[in-house]
Amino acid sequence: MEGGGSGAYGAAKAGGAFDLVRFVQQPQVLARIVSAIFALIVFACLVGDGYISTPEDSRLFCVFNHNEDACRYGIGIGVLAFLACIFFFMVDVYFPQISNATDRKYLVLADLGFSGLWTFLWFIGFCFLTNQWSWTWTEHVYIVADSARAAITFSFFSIFSWGLLLTFAYKRYKMGVEDFAQSYVDPTPEVSTPYSSYPNISHESYQQPPFTHTAEAPEGYQPPPVY
């Protein structure tokens, strides 16, 4: 299992030919592409229309209740999510070519951990942006209101897309663990008896060795004859 790695963690046997159509049709690949698009929309909306100024003040401020942390948070998780999608997309491309099961295990665990973390961060980001938008005077930011709403909407969609990635990564990890359990052989040898009897010898058919006689006790005392 350690050296072969054929079919481990839900991938094809190492060394097979790459099929682009079949690769794109994989559920985790489709979910990763969708997640990358959602992340791109979120941080593009916040970078392009997330900061505006007023006629009275030329300084730029965040459209979400003038809270700079809201815009920074959305841009930060959006950019990192987009880069992570590209990284794991390349991992998905080269994953079948990895023959070592341990390397596959670490990559699947990294995908599992990152997907779980970003599902949680997108949920926090959606709640944060929604809360700050509810306190924003829309008449002051009506020009970029659509971009702000789009950032909130696709933050909400990202929760489910990254939740799917989390589910797919968990299934791949579970599949790898089950494959290892099925192919694992206990190296402990069977316990055998320390001494084995000689073949074709039975204890019941034991015979005394030759030239060995036991003294027989006389049946009764016989006195010598008296004359």
Q: What is the pLDDT of residue 180?
A: 62
Classify the phi-psi angles of 161: left when phi > 0, otherwise alpha if psi is within -120 to 50, otherwise beta.
alpha
Mean pLDDT in residue range 64-84: 96
In a domain, 209, yes or no: no
Residue 167 pLDDT > 80: yes
Mean pLDDT in residue range 140-157: 92
Q: What is the pLDDT of residue 4?
A: 40
In a domain, 99, yes or no: yes
In a domain, 189, yes or no: no
In a domain, 196, yes or no: no
Task: Name the pLDDT band for 190 (thresholds 50, 70, 90).
Answer: low
In a domain, 188, yes or no: no
Which residues partner with 62 through β-bridges?
Answer: 51
Q: Among the ranges 14-23, 60-69, 197-206, 217-226, which has the highest mean pLDDT value?
A: 60-69
* Residue 61 near residue 22, CB atoms below 8 Å: no
Q: Based on C-alpha coordinates, what's the Rg of the chain?
A: 39
Q: What is the pLDDT of residue 181?
A: 64
In a domain, 16, yes or no: no
Q: How far is CA 221 from the centre of its chain?
A: 95
Instruction: Please report, rounded to a whole number, the percentage of residues in the chain having pLDDT higher than 90.
Output: 54
Which residues partner with 61 through β-bridges?
Answer: 52
Which string of DSSP letters, residue by residue, matches the chain?
Answer: --S--TTGGG-PPTTPPP-HHHHHTSHHHHHHHHHHHHHHHHHHHHHHHSEE--SS--S-EETTTT-HHHHHHHHHHHHHHHHHHHHHHHHHHHGGG---HHHHHHHHHHHHHHHHHHHHHHHHHHHHHHHHHHTS-GGGSGGGHHHHHHHHHHHHHHHHHHHHHHHHHHHHHHHHHHHHHHH----PPPP--S--PPTT--STT--PPTT--PPPPPSS--PPP--
The two structure tokens encoding residue 45: 């909306």
Residue 108 pLDDT > 70: yes
Task: Name the pLDDT band for 100 (thresholds 50, 70, 90).
Answer: confident
Mean pLDDT in residue range 151-168: 97
Mean pLDDT in residue range 30-54: 94
C-alpha span between 78 and 158 (Å, rounded): 10
Task: Name the pLDDT band for 186 (thresholds 50, 70, 90).
Answer: very low
In a domain, 206, yes or no: no
Report how many domains make up the chain: 1
Residue 47 pLDDT > 60: yes
C-alpha span between 174 and 80 (Å, rounded): 27
Residue 145's domain comprises: 21-182
Look-up of token digits 């979400």: 64
Mean pLDDT in residue range 36-52: 95
In a domain, 195, yes or no: no
Who has greater pLDDT, 12 or 126?
Answer: 126
